[in-house]
Amino acid sequence: MTETKQSTNPKRAIQDSSHSAEPREPAEGPLLEVRGLQKHFPIKGGAMRRVIGQVKAVDGVSLTVDRGETVAIVGESGCGKSTTGRTIIRLEEPTGGEVIFRHPELGPVHIEDADTKTLDKVRPKMQFIFQDPMASLDSRMTVGRVIAEPLVINKVLKGQALRDKVADLLTVVGLRPEHASRYPHAFSGGQRQRIGIARALALDPDLIICDEPVSALDVSVQAQVINLLEDLQERLGLTYLFISHDLSVVEHISDRVVVMYVGRVVEISDTKELYKRPLHPYTEALLGAVPQPDPRKLHVMEPLKGEVPSPANPPSGCYFHTRCKYAQQKCTDETPELREISSDRGGSAAGARRPRMVACHFAEELELTGAVVPSPDAFKAVETETSVQLKSGDLE
């Protein structure tokens, strides 16, 4: 956290004169920058309900998201990935750190100390898609009202223009305009998630934070929603912060990955590099645990022992040392900093979007195994063996 704030008062936010609707120059800096973000929840106890401890749900998370890319946050449940997402748009008040969002008109805005007025201007550009599409849609509002609500609240449109926009949004996400008059219960899980996406798109956001958007969906529907998100990104130039625990989905959708463990970032890398050669032992363990859809590639790695430590009472040094098979004395004593790894040491390859970062004392020495890749034959089995020949002879 050595960087200086660009503007402490959001009202004095630097005007971004170069703003236009066209894709911007990458030179203008990241769309979202998070520096040392912290979110601690107090534990209250005793007769006076005094604060007796802190759950450090997010403890010094730094990451950047460039315009047009998809950055995924992965980790086990309780690692703070959802809290990070919620704190970034201030659904939770951060305990410390900075969140800088580059607004198309206001320029870089510090979200963490922005006042209500500024937040009102910034939030339309940062939208959220929630995991559970049943819980995140008001069951007593028609789909049309659900999608129109952000437009009404922000006084963007009304009357016929509003209805047209809603119809438009429904079409964009692959539903029909006449669906606007129905209620959420009349839709399947995948369709409800589409409604959630339409609502997020209503205000033409730049950044969409997707918190496990496909985890609650069936596989066949999950593919539809993933494709929709990718398609929308291409068409509308969206940027995603994609929070997920499913490493196969993350590999498919993301450009870069942030791996979190007990409230801290342990590794940031381009997706391909990360899956090919992880630099943090925790990343290796996560990748090794993914059940591959290939019976010829059975789990080879011993599963990770033990449990995730509690963020209320984390171990000393590197939080992962209690479960790490490479741990040494240094790991118990010293907390490893998130640091850049140079390319000759297994760091970012040429053409990488951003430098590779890892928080492990021994990142340079360890030779870690990447993800198991299903055999190409398994792909071919479903791709080439088409039933076309059978079909032609079978028509009556």
Partner 1 sequence: MTTRRRASGGSRAGDRRADDLGRGSSDAIITVRDLQVEYKTTLGKVNALNGVSFDVPRGSVLGVVGESGSGKSVTARAIMQILERAGKITDGSIVFRRPADDRRESTQQEDELEAALDSSGEVDITRLKPTSDAMRAIRGSEIAMIFQEPMSSLNPVYTIGFQIQEAIRLHQNPDKKESWAQAIDMLDQVGMPNPARIADSYPHELSGGMRQRAMIAMALSCHPALLIADEPTTALDVTTEAQILALMRRLKEEIGMSILFITHSMGVVAQLCDEVIVMYQGRVVERASVEDIFYHPKHPYTRSLLRSIPRIGAAEHTPLEVIKGSVPDPYTKVSGCSFHPRCPDFIGDVCRTVIPPETLLPGAERHGVRCHLYDDERALAGSTTEASR
Residues that bind partner 1 (CB under 8 A): 76-77, 188, 190-191, 218-224, 226-227, 230-231, 245, 247-249, 251-253, 272, 275, 285-286, 288-299, 301-308, 371-374, 377-379, 381-383, 385, 387, 390-391, 393-396
Shortest CB 348 distance to partner 1, Å: 17
Q: What is the DSSP string of 348-377?
A: PPTT-SS--EE--TTTTT-----PPPPPHH
Nearest to 74 by CA among 219, 196, 256, 343: 256
Q: Of the two residues 153 and 381, which places its CB atom closer to partner 1 in the complex?
A: 381
**Distance separating alpha carbons of residues 106 and 333, to the nearest angstrom:** 44
Q: Of the two residues 159 and 306, which places its CB atom closer to partner 1 in the complex?
A: 306
φ, ψ of residue 148 to 5 degrees: the values are -75, -25
Q: Of the two residues 111 and 232, which places its CB atom closer to partner 1 in the complex?
A: 232
In order of 178, 247, 291, 297, 299, the CA distances from 377 in angstroms are 44, 21, 17, 11, 18
Shortest CB 291 distance to partner 1, Å: 3
237 CB-contact burial (10 Å; exposed 0-12 / middle 13-18 / buried 19+): middle
151-157: long-range contacts, CB 8 A cutoff, minimum separation 24: 151/202, 151/203, 154/120, 154/124, 154/203, 156/203
User: What would the two tokens of residue 141 be?
Assistant: 């509002």
User: What would the two tokens of residue 297 be?
Assistant: 């590639």
Shortest CB 170 distance to partner 1, Å: 16
What letter represents residue 71's amino acid? Answer: V
Q: Of the two residues 12 and 176, which places its CB atom closer to partner 1 in the complex?
A: 176
Shortest CB 173 distance to partner 1, Å: 14
**Distance separating alpha carbons of residues 216 and 60, to the nearest angstrom:** 29
Q: Of the two residues 60 and 78, which places its CB atom closer to partner 1 in the complex?
A: 78
Shortest CB 48 distance to partner 1, Å: 25
Q: What is the DSSP string of 302-332?
A: PPPPS-PPPTTSPPSSSGGGGT-TT--HHHH
In order of 120, 297, 313, the CA distances from 54 in angstroms are 30, 43, 8
Q: Of the two residues 98 and 255, which places its CB atom closer to partner 1 in the complex?
A: 255
Shortest CB 160 distance to partner 1, Å: 32
Shortest CB 359 distance to partner 1, Å: 18
Q: Of the two residues 152 and 381, which places its CB atom closer to partner 1 in the complex?
A: 381
Does residue 238 contact residue 157 with C-beta atoms inside 8 Å? no
Shortest CB 252 distance to partner 1, Å: 4
Shortest CB 251 distance to partner 1, Å: 5
Q: Of the two residues 149 and 230, which places its CB atom closer to partner 1 in the complex?
A: 230
What is the chain's length?
Answer: 396
Q: Of the two residues 275 and 319, which places its CB atom closer to partner 1 in the complex?
A: 275
Query: Do strands 50-65 and 32-45 pair parallel, antiparallel, or not at all (unpaired)?
Result: antiparallel
Shortest CB 317 distance to partner 1, Å: 20
Q: Of the two residues 102 and 179, which places its CB atom closer to partner 1 in the complex?
A: 179
Hey, CA dihedral for 385, 386, 387, 390, is it positive or negative?
negative
User: What would the two tokens of residue 73 be?
Assistant: 């946050």
